[in-house]
Amino acid sequence: MPELPEVETTRRGIAPHLEGQRVSRVIVRDSRLRWPIPEDLDVRLSGQRIVQVDRRAKYLLIQAEVGTLISHLGMSGNLRLVEAGLPALKHEHVDIELESGLALRYTDPRRFGAMLWSLDPHNHELLIRLGPEPLTDLFDGERLYERSRGKSIAVKPFVMDNAVVVGVGNIYATEALFAAGIDPRREAGSVSRARYLKLAIEIKRILAYAIERGGTTLRDFIGGDGKPGYFQQELFAYGRGGQPCKVCGTTLREVKLGQRASVYCPKCQR
């Protein structure tokens, strides 16, 4: 479930339970994620106080006094707080036990996620080349316009490129392009400045809304799951191929772009 709003919702949910807490031990039941979890993670982290929980793109940065745990939820990952010692089910790969008696539990059936250790996370090779955060002033339509000139790639995979802007996954790219009235198949280099200004505004609006929704559905992160920022009935295009457009009634079409399903309205999006 993790697109950027879900990762940010996770961050907000777990941070109050982690910040200021000391780690008592780390239990790794299965280290086979996208990259192996470092064997010495327990040694590195145990005994340290957690200073802060940050996010960069879809990476969660759990900063200790010395060093930072970099975690990515992949396609199926989840972080939540449980009572320390709670028996682990299948796919519950890691527990980070705290002196409070709670444990941060990492679950990931597909194991596309990551849990890495770094002394300098922002210069880590996975983070160093990332584009700007979508909800900051470093990202705007002007950037999309400039970065797209001369590009033949379709506009949808273009806005999903982490070097252009981070945090725009398949759901939110689909929805933002619908809201901006841009055909996702259009060449990135052929989209006008004015339309990119609109697209950037819609990306910001939709991501901010989804985070807000995540925040409102989030009561307590203990024992629960991360709630999606979006509800099915709020989606205009994503997952609605073959169904009528909510704006004009035209049947929505589905194509593959960059190996990912892309739904659009042939009348509303040009």
User: Could you tell me which stretch among 11-19, 39-47, 107-115, 131-139 binds DNA (CB under 7 A)?
Assistant: 107-115
Residue 260 bears catalytic tag: yes
168: Cβ contacts below 8 Å, ≥ 6 apart: 4, 134, 159, 160, 176, 203, 207
- Residues belonging to the binding site for DNA are 91, 110, 151
Residue 109 in contact with DNA, rule: CB under 7 A:
yes
Give how many residues touch DNA by CB under 7 A: 39
Residue 184 bears catalytic tag: no
List 11, 58, 147, 198, catalytic entry = 58
Residue 90 in contact with DNA, rule: CB under 7 A:
yes
Rounded to whole angstroms, the Cα distance separating 182 from 179 reads: 8
- Taking alpha carbons only, the member of 143, 123, 124 closest to residue 133 is 143
Of these, 74, 121, 131, 184, which contacts DNA (CB under 7 A)? 74
The interface with DNA within residues 143-182 (CB under 7 A) comprises 150-154, 157-158, 160, 162, 169-171
Residue 258 in contact with DNA, rule: CB under 7 A:
yes
Coil, helix or strand for 253?
Answer: strand
Rounded to whole angstroms, the Cα distance separating 163 from 6 reads: 20
Of these, 72, 213, 240, 253, which contacts DNA (CB under 7 A)? 72
Residue 268 in contact with DNA, rule: CB under 7 A:
no
How does 186-219 read in b/e, with b if 16+ C-beta sit within 10 Å? bebeebeeebbbbbbebbbebbeebbebbeeebe
Residue 116 in contact with DNA, rule: CB under 7 A:
no
- Taking alpha carbons only, the member of 178, 77, 59, 165 closest to residue 116 is 59
The label of the residue with tokens 């807000």 reads 212
The interface with DNA within residues 29-48 (CB under 7 A) comprises 32, 34
Rounded to whole angstroms, the Cα distance separating 88 from 117 reads: 23
Catalytic residues: 2-3, 58, 260
The residue ranges that bind DNA (CB under 7 A) are: 1-3, 6, 32, 34, 57-58, 72, 74-76, 90-91, 109-112, 126, 150-154, 157-158, 160, 162, 169-171, 188-189, 228, 230, 258-261
